[in-house]
Amino acid sequence: TGAISSLQRQTEIQESELRRIRSEKELLQKQLREREVQLQAVSDKFCSLTEEQRQEEVVVMMEEENRNFQQVVTEQESQLAEQNKLISELQGTITQLQAEVVSTRLHLLKQKQAQKEIQSQLEALQHKELQTRVALEVISSKFERYRNKIIQATFSVEGIEDPQTELTDDEVLEAMQKIINERTEFQQRLKNRGSR
């Protein structure tokens, strides 16, 4: 937004300069027309003189006026050429600044869209994380209940002493394996007796 404001201020400055130069151009053109009017007035004045006076006055004054007029015309044409060149440059600068403003706005729009997409992805991830946490808590709760049932079943068997401290998973597995081994051995003994 700061870049756009800066570019817009530059554009306004360039447009103001362009208006000023155009105003000066109009002033020069007005002065040129006034010179032409003055020259016409001098010409009209000479028309009222006698033929001889007219010829003498016309030759001297017209030459002087012509020199002055030519000098003014040359200077004003030079100034107009410079101002036209400057106007062209300013118009090019204004066009460039306007293009930069459009480019900056498009860039900001893309950034906003990317930010919205990232925000949407973040919200989706947060929702998924919450679901995962809930599922993990459910699984952990079920696992703990299952573990407690296993411990309860394992240490309710005759001949197995109740644990005095909190058991690790390895200790629970070891106790279960002992019961399984004993039962397997007992079943094997029964089979052997039955065969005999």
> Which tens digits make up the pLDDT trace of 133-173?
999 999 999 988 888 888 777 777 666 666 667 777 787 78
**pLDDT, tens digit (0-9, with 9 covering 90-100), for 74-120:** 888 888 888 888 888 888 888 898 898 899 999 999 999 999 999 99
Residue type (1 letter), 81: A
> Residue 136: which domain range?
124-195
- Work out the pLDDT band at 35, boundaries 50, 70, 90: confident
Q: How high is the pLDDT of residue 51? A: 63
- Work out the pLDDT band at 179, boundaries 50, 70, 90: confident
Asked if residues 18 and 91 have their Cβ atoms less than 8 Å apart, the reply is yes
Flag whether 44 is in a domain: no
Flag whether 180 is in a domain: yes
Flag whether 84 is in a domain: no
Flag whether 163 is in a domain: yes
Flag whether 50 is in a domain: no
- HSE, CB side, 13 Å, CA atoms: give it for residue 104: 14
How many domains is the chain partitioned into structurally? 1
Residue 159 Ramachandran class (φ > 0 left, ψ -120 to 50 alpha, else beta): left
Q: How high is the pLDDT of residue 163? A: 66
Flag whether 130 is in a domain: yes
Asked if residues 124 and 38 have their Cβ atoms less than 8 Å apart, the reply is no
Flag whether 28 is in a domain: no
Q: How high is the pLDDT of residue 159? A: 62
